[in-house]
Amino acid sequence: MLRIQVLLASTRSKRFGERAAAWAMDRLDRRDDLRAELVDLREHPLPLYDLAVAPAHAGRTYPDDATAAWAGLVDGADGYVVVTPEYNHGYPAALKNALDHVSVELQRKPVAFVGYGGVGGARAVEQLRQVAVELEMAPLRHAVHVLPDLLVPALKAAAFDVEMLAPLDPKLDRLAADLVWWASALQTARAGT
């Protein structure tokens, strides 16, 4: 079974990201072609990047327990869905820090995006696609962008229900189908090399 990690990039105390990730997890859990796992960056705190050897050159050797745990976690996935807000037209610093701590663990794996914000997190997602290429990942075209028409009511709701984001289900279905295709193809390819 393909292992897909949903990376929750916002670590803020009152984050909308938790709601978007809950919806994505609910929908992905319904599929029988993947096994989804929520990876909340808040639960995997790392120091600001201070590694002596860049992960691209260090292979799977780690200087400390926190880095080893984080790297070991993401190493276990066949693909990723990054759920990201947009902060000042970029993506959260915590996400960049987490990505900078790994390299080979992510290589030759697909990554898709669920963005949210005034323009659906589109600028943050575009930047992340560039970062993904440098990490030798396969960033996918199909994405979900949660725009203010759905974001604001879902953000303000005292009791959030994942059904509030149901209008985006077709977009997530397309993303998931594409992610499964790439994750399966690259899993096979990785096993052959």
Q: How far apart are CA 117 and CA 86, in angstroms?
A: 6
Q: How far is the CB of 96 from ligand FMN (least distance, A)?
A: 14
Q: How far apart are CA 193 and CA 190, in angstroms?
A: 5
Question: Which residues does 89 contact at the CB level (< 8 Å), separation at least 6?
Answer: 123, 124
Interface with ligand FMN by CB under 6 A: which range of 7-15, 35-43, 62-70, 135-143?
A: 7-15
85 contributes a contact to ligand FMN by CB under 6 A = yes
193 contributes a contact to ligand FMN by CB under 6 A = no
Written as one letter, the residue type at 74 is V
152 contributes a contact to ligand FMN by CB under 6 A = no
> Two tokens at 128?
């992340």
15 contributes a contact to ligand FMN by CB under 6 A = yes
CA distances from 168 to 18, 20, 110, 142, 151 (A): 16, 11, 21, 12, 11
79 contributes a contact to ligand FMN by CB under 6 A = no
Q: Which sign, positive or negative, has the C-alpha torsion 127, 129, 133, 135?
A: positive
Q: How far apart are CA 188 and CA 34, in angstroms?
A: 15
Comparison of 65 and 149: residue with beta carbon closer to ligand FMN:
149
Q: How far is the CB of 89 from ligand FMN (least distance, A)?
A: 5
Comparison of 165 and 186: residue with beta carbon closer to ligand FMN:
165
> Two tokens at 120?
């659906």
Q: How far is the CB of 153 from ligand FMN (least distance, A)?
A: 13
Comparison of 140 and 151: residue with beta carbon closer to ligand FMN:
151
115 contributes a contact to ligand FMN by CB under 6 A = no
Spatial contact of 110 and 80, defined as CB atoms under 8 Å apart? yes
What residues make contact with ligand FMN under the rule CB under 6 A?
Answer: 10, 12, 15-17, 85-89, 117-119
